[in-house]
Structure 1
Amino acid sequence: MHPDTPEPMAEAVISLANLRHNARLVRKKAGVPLMAVVKANAYGHGATEVARALEEEGVSHFGVANIREALELRRGGGLEPSASVLAFSSPLPSQIPHYLEHDIEMTLCGISNLRAAEESASAAGRTIGVQLKVDTGMGRLGLPPEEALQVLCELPRCPHVELRGIYTHFADSTGERAFTRRQLEAFTAFCREYEHASGRTVLKHAANSGAILSEPGATLDMVRPGILLYGARPSAESEETLGLRPVMQLEARVVFLKTVRAGTTISYGRTWSAPGTRRIATIAAGYADGYHRALSGRGTVAINGRPYPQVGTVTMDQIMVDLGEESDVRIGDRAVLFGAGGMSVDQLADRAGTISYELLCAVSGRVKRVFR
């Protein structure tokens, strides 16, 4: 009797135990509450399951990219109603009613933003929670401090808008520390000025994963870890690892084996030829699954605990590996493309000339997530 669903060719095995372990280490390092960054499907790990596990560890603030991700988390995450969900992107006016209906915190980026929020909230007879984004040097979203202060001065005229936080984002928290400190100084000065003038305190946060490791003074009231939660480094320059554990292991099945003679070429462009008689394994994962084409001839996979070089050009659906002259590898064996027992995602990213964030986010929807 065959199963109703065919066995998956590729799986991303997600260790929720390692995720919880990492969250505890990051919280201990920072000494303040966490806003867990679960955007982009929790960096490819599965936002619903990740958020639920982190909530069990006491995390009550979550950050996502936009309103669509926020709604997916609210509707499918099983989060407590009291959990805070902040959408980092500046919204379109037409999206604001969804923030109200599902209690999603909106990023406030300007006067027009504020007025649209007040108009929607007033019409609905509700209050909308917002967090002001101050641009101190990233140049992506938010207002420079002097313009951000004008927005705050407008707030008393918007009774249906509740300011729940002020935040900024560092442009180079793992590299040019002097610039990061200038950003931090500008942000904290802005917050002091507002709190003094308004007579109230407000939730302040700035530190991403890189700053959690490198800038102790940036922790403020809360930190926003992303990549650290998933057990990878913020950058190749990051020396401190905290004892983090990788959360994702990307695996795929061996689906074909053959013996080739010396001189036989493999894959598109004929970029690799066998130096002698070789056993070649075809593995059912390619760039459509998240194994980057830039890794062609640069990666190593582990099968039954042994490393083997990936050879030839990475194709859309498969890669090939050189098993040597003889091998006991069989069809159906699992190959670890990255993760425990194979190359780390950081090592693989270095070889691809990119960052671990990109490799993790690239693991596509046709790769089954398995939570353990």
Structure 2
Amino acid sequence: MNDLPLPAVSFQGVTRRYGAVTAVRDVNLDIAPGEFFALLGPSGSGKTTLLMLLAGFDQPSEGQVLMSGTPISDFPPHRRRIGVVFQNYALFPHMTAAENVAYPLKMRGMPRDERDKRVHAALGIVSLSDRGASYPSQLSGGQQQRVALARALVFGPDVLLMDEPLGALDRRLRDQMQIELKRIQHELGVTVIYVTHDQSEAMAMADRVGIMSGGELLQVADPETIYASPANHFVARFIGECSILRVASFDGGKGYEISGARQLLPTPSTVPFDIVVRPENVVLRSAANPTPMDQFCVSATIRESTYLGSGWRVSIELEDGQSLLANVPRRHELAGNLSDGLKVSATWEPTSVAILPTEAST
């Protein structure tokens, strides 16, 4: 007997077409109860379309959407027990914060006394108990966002959808709200589906991340796996900074050669492959300081360096003409001596690279 709970949300073979344009293509995805799930991708990738299909503002061309095992395609939006927070908040300017939060309860015909109790509790959750009488124009952007969140939570939804909710805030306030959203989500245990094109938001907040491009769901995994083991070239380039290097395999894929240097792989590859190297995993040394003969390293030339405060981001050119990014911390032997044209050597651990089938092989 299977005692696992049903997914809070399930997309089963979901496709959405608009004429000749396919916005979402054959998406299969289960989201667990209480999970904070982020849909991440560039504009036009299909992530907001998936949200609209779940919320009931659109219908799939093929496939079905389920909540807790029940197909909901025939349910109108108000019967789906889904709260929605948009980027522009959509607050009524002529209503106070409390009246905005009470609006969905009023539309459901809830008695005034019960409405007042729920509104007070919802404003307390978002730390705005003392601003219920304020109008949106009297609130900061972050406070307006909290009101919109309280309105989405006040009726006790099973699922909370958030579409770029922090996009209108400055970076400092976004960072603060990320912490608040995670606190509230843990406190309430509500399932959150969070749409964003900001990878730092998704990686910082989500239990799992789904990467979308061209209407397709390319990879679903926890943030650490997405970063360390991307499924393809698009995911590798989209998440963080990296260098994707062409290499030649040897001994049947047991290792690779690049710029005359060889490195064994922890797990052999059976197909032609490229390697993904993150800049924080690259160690640079001055070419004047010899590297031990038994240590893997490649010769390179510095082409550009950018100061980041905590150190430098350096672009180097390998002897075969490929570019590689590396981080140089402030106390590094090369700090302050990163002039263009400087000869260096670069090394990285074999366990720090990700292996991807070459784009021609995928």
Say which structure is richer in strand.
2
- The question of a shared fold, defined as TM-score above 0.5 by the shorter chain, is answered with no
Q: How high is the TM-score relative to the length of structure 1?
A: 0.29
When normalised by structure 2's length, the TM-score is 0.29
In proportion to residue count, which structure has more helix? 1
